């Protein structure tokens, strides 16, 4: 496999699933607390991906840098949250239906920091380095070896940019130009030795130049550019103070800036004076001529996120046909050998806020802003921990990078949550600008458990849209209540749906869920906050009794024709998620009302009910409606249906679908098939776990995992979390979780350049905490039951609960709970074990930490794990391997026969058996057996690398050709696992024995492709690729089995190994590290003669007594005709052989 190819994760697969494979080579690396772009990635990854990942934001401002290309110029786009607007694309037909819309006005301006040398841009001679500091939220870019056009002037440029989290309207950037070198000829300059350095292409210019030292005029430019197609300029003589008004929303934005240029010499420093310029550019004005809906700009705003003019048109100045207007600051410096500066610092600071009156605050220095950032982030990182160490990581800290990056981004945007959180967190425009309220479910859980004040601010942003939500309810003929949309900016639905009559009413229930969860987890809630939270809860809940109807024959309340979050099942009645979430929403609303009445008093409740026009009878109706909603299970299948008719839909039997389905197939083609995008049933079970038994979780997971398309990344979080909850340490959820965590930083589905996915960030954290951490969501009591999935070495996370912060650490031996902030925390571990951590009170001394053994094992069983060599599972695998090598070598031999005119004998079965099967490697795989075969024919090939193409004459080239040949053979014969071996595997897995499959071949995934039933049984695998990457020694070393035991968290002494041909090369000392080896018989075209077979290694003397106190053997032979098929039979075989040895010793 080539290094840039993507590899399939090991685990369950279904033919409907969208691919989320993580590239083998990372795009970014973690260097301490810095995210840096990999040097290899710079060559094949679009710079827009880097720009998207390394943008800056505080939730209010989004500052996206455009990577340097050929010249030293730094361009930045500035987005402001809440100033953009959504307008219909086509409004020629007046309709109340939901039209397609576009988002305008997010980019307030573009900022350019440039350096011109005699009017030309300096040319980059090396690829710039880029990094993002997670401890200060500062972006750094370094350009080494910038050259003038004639090649005689060279200097470096260091750029840094930061968005303040202390003052939300403030950001700044700075370029430091240094290391100026001036030569009379090309040879006078010293060039970079960096491997990314690009030599000059204009050497000819230097050959005819004279030896005099030239002089240059350097122009340092700061340019603020406004797109006049989206903004009117109301005021602005220069870049210091610019007032803009959105052409679509009418919102006014005031921008004030400060630009300085300081030149430092050996004798001191001086400031350059600025020259102000105003420029305009004419161009495409099609956007200006569009007839936008007046509804989009005519209404005044009462939202705290929109304090503008509310659509009042204000006269602007400038050419009405201009495309853009630019305000420039120009600093000029003459440079010669007599006036060479040490460095030149160009600094730009800017404030952007909504409103007419400009801010009067002075600008701090960029260093002061960065110092403030460090203090803020140090406080965050001191109390927030998240880490998953994965054994199979070839790049150190790769998964940790994703975890830290996601947490960092969610923290940065949390400073402006009272104004909402868009899909992309101000990282891009277009669809990323919308607020996706379904994502607020995951955001709400994340912030509630990490920073409750930010969770309250997020809910407050929803409350600010309550007036518009009441209008939405009126639009669908509801007498009272509020309806929140799925995708919005100002509270109205901005997303086009296939069925326009179906409002996304499940958002109401999810808002109620977040409110209820916040009350459970927060410690102190102000009385005012309690009242508006209760108002929001009641207003969102009261829509349900109006939307459904009673079925008298069943005495049940039905909510039909209401869609859930799954777009692929939005047309049928009896939606599971709607009924479950509405039932619990009404119950939560009643419970919250009763709680607040006892805390705040009857008078406060009376005033609130009067304010929203509600009475006690309506609250009683909540109770009867909630009790009347029935969540039905399909008894014949033992699972819950997505909707009433889900099991009657057709299975997808066509070709493997193209993803996303919504963009490749007609909606009716999707609706009539049995598939899901967002697995609503599993989501409901995770959110309301107390409503279901654990066996229900496993059954429904098995059913819906096979039907999930994963077109929405959140499906990865739901499936993986449910897998961890259902199967614990035997889960296969890590590949899904890893893909979700790496969605942006590894550009898994090629969307990072279009804006980051904040829903994926928060939902992945929820999957870790609720899945691996075993947190039971929806409870009033904190309850944790962590698991430790195969392939991990450590799990760490923190949870804030009622004023305290709890850190949980899980490793192979212990679960450690530690109180790191707060005075006291109480929680339940596992199945009812209550734990109280505290700093001490009364007569009790402090108890900040407790360690719980992860496994309560008494070691009474014979073994805890089993590792299978892949070749031991299949009857005909040896013949397939031989045939593949035979054909591969024959192709090589034919060429040599023709070129050298000599006879070369083909590979014989006995030679293959003797030299290839029994090949001995000193270190990692080097195809020594094939090498010996070739040497015996006078052919000596170098080892090569795994990247060698099949036609390259190296041993790896031959191996790659053999893999392709083997794949072609397997496509014809479809190798199947031995039935007896499969029965044994199933029984082992059913009895909780951890299983792994290992092999030195790179055909493991292809073999499992033809035996998909095996993928659910093995927790871990090692194939030829991993063996090469990890430098795992080949046979007769047992390193591959030791690695397999490590991946499934089993002590080798408690692990069985099923292998082949153990009679040669293996040492008794190495085999004794495991509980026992089984030498499985392998069928081949020849039977190994007696002279081929050696006796198995045995222990003797004191070593035998020390290693095998029971006197048992190291290895047992297994005939394929008499394989054990159950754990009991396997244990009996071990007992019998051990007893037989004891009897022999007694005799």
Residues 440-494 pLDDT 10s: 999 999 999 999 999 999 999 999 999 999 999 999 899 999 999 998 888 888 7
Of 187-196, 240-249, 755-764, the one with minimum mean pLDDT is 187-196
**Helix axis angle, 714-727 relative to 439-450, nearest 10°?**
60
99 and 181 both lie in a single domain: yes
Q: Are 756 and 425 in contact (CB under 8 A)?
A: yes
- What CATH number does residue 1135 fall under? 3.40.50.1000
Inside any domain, residue 23: no
777 and 796 both lie in a single domain: yes
For residue 101, pLDDT over 90 is answered with: no
What is the token pair recorded at 133?
A: 């500091």
Of 8 and 344, which is predicted with more confidence?
344
pLDDT score for 501: 44
Q: pLDDT category, 1110, cuts 50, 70, 90?
A: low
* Dmax (CA) of the chain: 110
**Helix axis angle, 439-450 relative to 398-413, nearest 10°?**
90
- Name the 3-class secondary structure at 865: strand
Of 108-112, 1014-1018, 1139-1143, the one with minimum mean pLDDT is 1139-1143
Q: Where are the beta strands (DSSP E) in 118-247?
A: 120-121, 123-124, 129-133, 138-147, 153-163, 170-182, 216-227, 231-235, 241-246
DSSP per position, 524-591 = ---HHHHHHHHHHHHHHHTTHHHH-EEETTTTEEE--S---S-GGG-SSSS-HHHHHHHHHHHHHHHH
Of 922 and 949, which is predicted with more confidence?
949
- Burial grade of 561 (CB within 10 A; 0-12, 13-18, 19 or more): middle
Question: Which residues in 1108-1118 are b (16+ Cβ under 10 Å) and which e?
Answer: beebbbbbbeb
Taking only Cα atoms into account, the Rg of the chain, rounded to an integer number of angstroms, comes to 34
Question: Which residues in 519-531 are b (16+ Cβ under 10 Å) and which e?
Answer: bbbbeeeeeebbb
pLDDT score for 100: 54
937 and 980 both lie in a single domain: no
Q: Are 719 and 736 in contact (CB under 8 A)?
A: yes
For residue 361, pLDDT over 80 is answered with: no
928 and 796 both lie in a single domain: no
DSSP per position, 998-1011 = E-SSTTHHHHHHT-
324 and 175 both lie in a single domain: yes
161 and 112 both lie in a single domain: yes
- Distance (Å, whole) CA 218 – CA 116: 6
- Distance (Å, whole) CA 316 – CA 234: 5
Task: Read off the pLDDT of each residue in 269-295 and give the average, rounded to a whole number.
Answer: 68
Tell me the per-residue pLDDT of 782-840, one tens digit each, with 9 for 90 and over: 999 999 999 899 999 999 999 999 999 999 999 999 999 999 999 999 988 999 999 98
Three-point CA angle 74, 80, 84, nearest 5°: 120
pLDDT score for 1145: 46
Terminus-to-terminus CA distance in the chain, angstroms? 57
Task: Read off the pLDDT of each residue in 667-684 and give the average, rounded to a whole number.
Answer: 94
Q: Are 495 and 98 in contact (CB under 8 A)?
A: yes
Strand order in the sheet with 1055-1059: 1020-1022, 994-998, 865-869, 1055-1059, 1076-1080, 1115-1118
Task: Read off the pLDDT of each residue in 266-294 and give the average, rounded to a whole number.
Answer: 71
Inside any domain, residue 356: yes
φ/ψ of 844, rounded to 5, equals -90, 130
- Distance (Å, whole) CA 208 – CA 833: 86
Dihedral angle of Cα 1017, 1019, 1023, 1025, to the nearest 10 degrees? 140
Three-point CA angle 161, 164, 169, nearest 5°: 110
Residue partners of 700: CB distance under 8 A and separation at least 6? 639, 640, 681, 682, 685, 722
What is the token pair recorded at 523?
A: 């410690």
H or E element at residue 1057? strand 1055-1059
- Distance (Å, whole) CA 192 – CA 126: 8
- Distance (Å, whole) CA 429 – CA 81: 11
Final residue of a structural domain among 941, 965, 989? 965
Tell me the per-residue pLDDT of 110-122, one tens digit each, with 9 for 90 and over: 999 999 999 888 8
- Name the 3-class secondary structure at 961: helix
Share above pLDDT 90 across residues of the chain, in percent, rounded to a whole number: 58
591 and 707 both lie in a single domain: yes
What is the token pair recorded at 309?
A: 């003019």
Task: Read off the pLDDT of each residue in 500-515 and give the average, rounded to a whole number.
Answer: 84
Q: Are 172 and 199 in contact (CB under 8 A)?
A: no
869 and 893 both lie in a single domain: no
Q: Are 1036 and 1000 in contact (CB under 8 A)?
A: no
pLDDT score for 539: 98
Range of the domain at 999: 865-874+975-1146
Distance of CA 540 to the CA centre of its chain: 31
331 and 298 both lie in a single domain: yes
pLDDT score for 150: 84
Indicate the number of domains in the chain. Answer: 4
HEC string for 436-493 = ECCHHHHHHHHHHHHCHHHHHHHHHHHHCCHHHHHHHHHHCCCCCCCCCCCEECCCCC
pLDDT score for 13: 61
pLDDT score for 1094: 62
Q: Residue 915: left if φ>0, alpha if ψ -120 to 50, beta else—which one?
A: alpha
Tell me the per-residue pLDDT of 1024-1038, one tens digit each, with 9 for 90 and over: 888 888 889 888 899
pLDDT score for 12: 53
Among 132, 106, 144, which Cα is nearest to 37's? 132
Q: pLDDT category, 137, cuts 50, 70, 90?
A: very high
HEC string for 594-631 = HHHHHHHCHHHHHHHHHHCCCCHHHHHHHHHHHHHCCC
Helix and strand totals (H; E) in the chain? 31, 40
What is the token pair recorded at 268?
A: 């001191």
For residue 858, pLDDT over 70 is answered with: no
Task: Read off the pLDDT of each residue in 921-925 and give the average, rounded to a whole number.
Answer: 78
Dihedral angle of Cα 1016, 1021, 1023, 1026, to the nearest 10 degrees? 130
Share above pLDDT 70 across residues of the chain, in percent, rounded to a whole number: 86
Q: pLDDT category, 304, cuts 50, 70, 90?
A: very low
Task: Read off the pLDDT of each residue in 75-103 and give the average, rounded to a whole number.
Answer: 67
DSSP per position, 773-827 = S---TT-SS-EE-----TTEEEEEEEEEETTEEEEEEE-SSEEEEEEEESSEEEE
Dihedral angle of Cα 335, 336, 340, 344, to the nearest 10 degrees? 10
- Distance (Å, whole) CA 60 – CA 631: 42
DSSP 975: -
1047 and 1031 both lie in a single domain: yes
Q: Residue 477: left if φ>0, alpha if ψ -120 to 50, beta else—which one?
A: left
Q: Which residues on neighbouring strands pair with residue 1055, listed in sequence order?
A: 865
Task: Read off the pLDDT of each residue in 405-433 and give the average, rounded to a whole number.
Answer: 91
Inside any domain, residue 371: no
For residue 202, pLDDT over 50 is answered with: no
What is the token pair recorded at 119?
A: 């009017």
pTM to 2 decimal places: 0.88
Using alpha carbons, list the distances in angstroms from residue 330 to 124, 150, 255, 333, 844: 22, 23, 19, 10, 69
Task: Read off the pLDDT of each residue in 369-382 and give the average, rounded to a whole number.
Answer: 97
Inside any domain, residue 813: yes
H or E element at residue 372? helix 366-383
Of 199 and 160, which is predicted with more confidence?
160
- Distance (Å, whole) CA 489 – CA 494: 7
pLDDT score for 152: 87
Inside any domain, residue 50: no
Inside any domain, residue 9: no
DSSP 976: -
Inside any domain, residue 41: no
497 and 552 both lie in a single domain: yes
Please count the CA atoms within 13 angstroms of the CA of 520 that sit on its side-chain side.
Answer: 20
Q: pLDDT category, 982, cuts 50, 70, 90?
A: very high
Please count the CA atoms within 13 angstroms of the CA of 175 that sit on its side-chain side.
Answer: 23
pLDDT score for 734: 93
For residue 203, pLDDT over 60 is answered with: no
pLDDT score for 1108: 62
Residue 171 burial (CB count, 10 A)? 27
- What CATH number does residue 551 fall under? 1.50.10.10
Residue 1105 burial (CB count, 10 A)? 11
φ/ψ of 205, rounded to 5, equals -65, -30
Tell me the per-residue pLDDT of 556-610, one tens digit each, with 9 for 90 and over: 999 998 989 998 998 788 999 999 999 999 999 999 999 999 999 999 999 999 9
Q: pLDDT category, 102, cuts 50, 70, 90?
A: low
- Distance (Å, whole) CA 1016 – CA 200: 57
For residue 261, pLDDT over 60 is answered with: yes
- Distance (Å, whole) CA 414 – CA 841: 34
Among 946, 924, 918, 896, which Cα is nearest to 1031's? 924
**Helix axis angle, 366-383 relative to 398-413, nearest 10°?**
110
pLDDT score for 478: 94
For residue 1018, pLDDT over 50 is answered with: yes
- What CATH number does residue 314 fall under? 2.70.98.40
pLDDT score for 917: 84
Place of tokens 């959140």: 714
pLDDT score for 859: 58
pLDDT score for 158: 94
- Name the 3-class secondary structure at 520: helix
What is the token pair recorded at 532?
A: 């508006």
948 and 1058 both lie in a single domain: no
Return mean pLDDT, the chain: 86
For residue 285, pLDDT over 50 is answered with: no
Inside any domain, residue 819: yes
Q: pLDDT category, 1093, cuts 50, 70, 90?
A: low
């Amino acid at each position: 496999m080539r290094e840039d190819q993507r590899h399939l994760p090991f685990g369950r697969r279904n033919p409907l699933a969208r691919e989320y494979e993580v590239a083998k080579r990372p795009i970014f690396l973690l260097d301490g607390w810095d995210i840096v772009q990999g040097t290899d990635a710079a060559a094949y990854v679009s710079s827009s991906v880097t720009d998207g990942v390394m943008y800056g934001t505080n939730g209010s401002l989004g500052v996206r840098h455009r990577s340097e290309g050929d010249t030293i110029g730094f361009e930045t786009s500035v987005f402001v949250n809440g100033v953009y607007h959504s307008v219909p694309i086509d409004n020629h037909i007046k309709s109340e239906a939901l039209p397609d819309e576009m988002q305008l006005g997010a980019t307030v301006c573009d900022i350019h920091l440039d350096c011109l040398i005699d009017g030309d841009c300096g040319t980059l001679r090396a690829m710039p380095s880029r990094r993002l500091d997670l401890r200060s939220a500062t972006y750094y870019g370094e350009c080494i070896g910038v050259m003038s056009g004639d090649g005689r002037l060279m200097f470096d440029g260091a750029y840094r940019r930061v968005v303040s989290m202390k003052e939300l309207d403030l950001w700044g950037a700075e370029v430091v130009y240094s290391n100026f070198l001036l030569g009379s000829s090309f040879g006078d300059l010293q060039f970079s030795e960096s491997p990314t350095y690009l030599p000059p292409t204009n050497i000819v210019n230097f050959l005819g130049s004279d030896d005099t030292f030239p002089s240059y005029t350097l122009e340092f430019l700061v340019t603020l550019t406004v797109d006049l197609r989206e903004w009117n300029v109301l005021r602005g003589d220069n870049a210091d103070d610019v007032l803009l008004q959105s052409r679509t929303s009418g919102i006014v934005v005031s921008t004030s800036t400060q630009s300085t240029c300081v030149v430092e010499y050996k004798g001191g420093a001086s400031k350059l004076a600025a020259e102000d310029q105003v420029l305009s550019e004419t161009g495409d004005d099609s956007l200006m001529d569009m007839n936008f809906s007046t509804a989009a700009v005519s209404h005044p705003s009462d939202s705290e996120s929109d304090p503008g003019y509310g659509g009042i048109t204000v006269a602007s100045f400038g050419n009405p046909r201009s495309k853009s207007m630019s305000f420039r600051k120009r600093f000029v410096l003459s440079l010669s050998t007599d006036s060479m500066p040490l460095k030149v610092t160009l600094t730009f600071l800017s404030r952007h806020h909504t409103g007419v009156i400009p801010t009067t605050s002075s600008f701090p220095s960029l260093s002061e802003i960065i110092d403030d950032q460090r203090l803020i982030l140090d406080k965050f990182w001191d109390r927030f921990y998240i880490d998953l160490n994965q054994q199979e990581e070839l790049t150190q800290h790769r998964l940790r990078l994703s975890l830290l990056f996601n947490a960092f981004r969610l923290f940065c945007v949390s400073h402006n949550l009272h104004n909402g959180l868009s899909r992309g967190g101000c990282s891009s425009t277009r669809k990323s600008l919308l607020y996706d309220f379904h994502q607020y479910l995951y955001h709400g859980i994340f912030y509630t458990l990490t920073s409750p004040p930010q969770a309250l601010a997020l809910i407050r942003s929803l409350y600010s849209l309550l007036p518009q939500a009441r209008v939405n309810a009126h639009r669908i003929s509801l007498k009272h209540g509020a309806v929140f949309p799925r995708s919005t900016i100002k509270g109205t639905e901005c997303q086009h749906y296939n069925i326009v009559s179906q409002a996304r009413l499940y958002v109401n229930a999810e808002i109620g869920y977040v409110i209820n969860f916040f009350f459970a987890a927060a410690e102190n809630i102000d009385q005012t906050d309690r009242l508006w939270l209760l108002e929001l809860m009641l207003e969102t809940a009261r829509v349900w009794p109006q939307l459904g109807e009673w079925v008298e024959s069943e005495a049940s309340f039905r909510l039909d024709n209401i869609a859930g979050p799954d777009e692929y099942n939005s047309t049928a009645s009896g939606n599971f998620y709607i009924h479950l979430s509405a039932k619990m929403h009404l119950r939560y609303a009643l419970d919250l009302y009763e709680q607040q009445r006892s805390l705040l008093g009857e008078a406060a409740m009376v005033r609130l009910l009067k304010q929203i026009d509600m009475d006690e009878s309506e609250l009683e109706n909540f109770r009867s409606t909630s009790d009347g909603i029935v969540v039905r299970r399909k008894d014949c299948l033992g699972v819950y249906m997505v909707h009433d008719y889900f099991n009657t839909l057709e299975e997808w039997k066509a070709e493997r679908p193209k993803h996303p389905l919504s963009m490749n197939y007609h909606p009716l083609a999707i609706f009539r098939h049995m598939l899901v995008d967002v697995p609503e049933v599993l989501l409901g079970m995770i959110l309301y776990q107390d409503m279901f038994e654990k066996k229900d979780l496993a059954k429904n997971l098995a059913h819906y995992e096979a039907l999930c398309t994963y077109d929405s990344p959140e499906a990865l979080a739901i499936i993986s979390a449910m897998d961890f909850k259902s199967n614990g340490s035997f889960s296969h959820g890590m590949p899904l979780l890893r893909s979700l965590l790496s969605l942006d930083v590894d550009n898994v589905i090629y969307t990072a350049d279009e804006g980051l996915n904040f829903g994926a960030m928060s939902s992945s954290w929820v999957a870790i905490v609720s899945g691996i951490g075993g947190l039971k969501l929806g409870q009033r009591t904190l309850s944790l039951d962590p698991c430790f999935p195969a392939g991990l070495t450590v799990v760490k996370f923190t949870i804030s609960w009622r004023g305290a912060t709890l850190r949980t650490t899980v490793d192979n031996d212990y679960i450690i709970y530690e109180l790191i902030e707060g005075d006291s925390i109480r929680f339940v571990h596992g199945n009812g074990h209550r734990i109280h951590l505290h700093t001490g009170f009364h007569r009790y001394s402090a108890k900040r930490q407790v360690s719980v053994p992860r496994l309560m094992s008494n070691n009474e069983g014979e073994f805890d794990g089993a590792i299978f060599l892949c070749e031991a599972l299949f009857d005909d695998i040896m013949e397939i391997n031989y045939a593949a090598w035979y054909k591969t070598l024959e192709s090589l031999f034919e060429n040599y026969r023709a070129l050298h005119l000599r006879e070369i004998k083909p590979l014989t079965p006995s030679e293959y058996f003797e030299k290839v099967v029994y090949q001995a490697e000193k270190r990692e795989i080097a195809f020594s057996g094939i090498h010996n075969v070739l040497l015996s024919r006078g052919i000596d090939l170098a080892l090569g690398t795994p990247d060698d193409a099949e036609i390259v004459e190296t041993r790896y080239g031959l191996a790659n050709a053999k893999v392709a040949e083997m794949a072609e053979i397997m496509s014809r014969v479809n190798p199947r696992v031995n039935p007896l071996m499969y029965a044994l595997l199933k029984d082992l897995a059913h009895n909780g024995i951890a299983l792994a499959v290992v092999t030195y071949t790179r055909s493991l995934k292809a073999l499992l492709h033809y035996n998909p039933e095996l993928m659910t049984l093995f927790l871990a695998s090692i194939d030829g690729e991993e063996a090469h990457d990890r430098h795992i020694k080949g046979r007769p070393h047992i390193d591959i089995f030791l690695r397999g035991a490590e991946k499934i968290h089993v002590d080798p002494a408690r692990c069985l190994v099923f292998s082949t041909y153990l009679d040669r090369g293996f040492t008794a000392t190495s085999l004794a590290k495991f509980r026992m080896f089984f030498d499985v018989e392998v069928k081949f075209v020849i039977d190994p003669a007696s002279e081929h077979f050696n006796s198995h290694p045995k222990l003797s003397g004191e070593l035998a007594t020390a290693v095998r106190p029971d006197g048992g053997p190291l290895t047992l032979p297994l005939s394929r005709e008499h394989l054990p098929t159950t754990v009991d039979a396997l244990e009996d075989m071990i007992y019998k052989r051990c007893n037989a040895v004891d009897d022999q010793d007694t005799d």
